[in-house]
């Protein structure tokens, strides 16, 4: 697909993806420092790894936008959420990861509908990675006895509903 054939909505999906990924970078980086202050070195290390992963996603989006001839420009980042304990932080992260999963699901479906296979594949690979991240987060929360809040319950239900996305055409 040539540069000028990219649907403007696809560029919109890329811009919002960059904003969400950079929001995740800011959130997980902050949490790494916070839980270190709480004395939880293991959780700090894990948040640092997640920060790097989200940074790499942001970099892939920047590279992809450049390849399409678009200047990357994330819009406003969401404020870092706060909670009094690790489970609370992870529940906030589950909400953010759900935003990412839903965003990539929608972007992938839209690209498939307009037969933009290259961008569909790009969004699909990020979608797969965020779903995998969501599953790891689920497991971490279960280890900690999490899943208490309504936000987490909604997150789990939502993720299950989206597990078979191809059967849920929304366009």
Is 21 or 91 the residue whose CB approaches Fe ion more closely? 21
Rounded to 10 deg, the angle between the 86-113 and 8-37 helix axes is 170
170/106 Cα distance (integer angstroms): 8
**Cβ-contact 2, 67 below 8 angstroms:** no
Q: How far is the CB of 132 from Fe ion (least distance, A)?
A: 9
Interaction site with Fe ion (CB under 5 A): 21, 54, 57, 130, 133
Is 95 or 114 the residue whose CB approaches Fe ion more closely? 95
Is 57 or 103 the residue whose CB approaches Fe ion more closely? 57
Is 19 or 116 the residue whose CB approaches Fe ion more closely? 19
- Per the listing, tokens 């696809």 go with 10
**Cβ-contact 137, 90 below 8 angstroms:** yes
Q: How far is the CB of 9 from Fe ion (least distance, A)?
A: 21
Q: How far is the CB of 133 from Fe ion (least distance, A)?
A: 4
Q: How far is the CB of 2 from Fe ion (least distance, A)?
A: 28
What DSSP state is assigned to residue 122? H
Query: Cβ-count burial of 72 within 10 angstroms (0-12 exposed, 13-18 middle, 19+ buried)?
Result: middle
* CA–centroid distance for 99 within its chain: 6
Is 44 or 100 the residue whose CB approaches Fe ion more closely? 100
Q: How far is the CB of 39 from Fe ion (least distance, A)?
A: 25
Instruction: Report which of 78, 74, 108 is spatially closest to residue 93, judged by C-alpha positions.
Output: 78
């Amino acid at each position: 697909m040539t540069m000028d054939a990219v649907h403007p909505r696809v560029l919109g999906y890329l811009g919002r993806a960059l904003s969400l990924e950079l929001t995740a970078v800011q959130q997980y980086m902050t949490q790494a420092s916070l839980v270190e202050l709480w004395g939880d070195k293991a959780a700090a290390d894990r948040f640092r790894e997640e920060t790097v992963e989200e940074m790499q996603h942001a970099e892939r989006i920047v590279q992809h936008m450049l390849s399409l001839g678009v200047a990357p420009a994330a819009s406003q980042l969401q404020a870092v959420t706060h909670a009094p304990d690790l489970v609370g932080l992870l529940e906030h992260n589950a909400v953010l990861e759900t935003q990412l999963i839903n965003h990539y699901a929608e972007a992938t479906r839209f690209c498939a509908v307009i037969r933009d296979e290259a961008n569909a594949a790009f969004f699909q690979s990020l979608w797969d990675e965020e779903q995998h991240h969501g599953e790891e987060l689920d497991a971490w929360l279960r280890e900690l006895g999490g899943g208490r809040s309504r936000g987490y319950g909604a997150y789990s239900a939502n993720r299950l509903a989206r597990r078979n996305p191809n059967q849920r055409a929304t366009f």
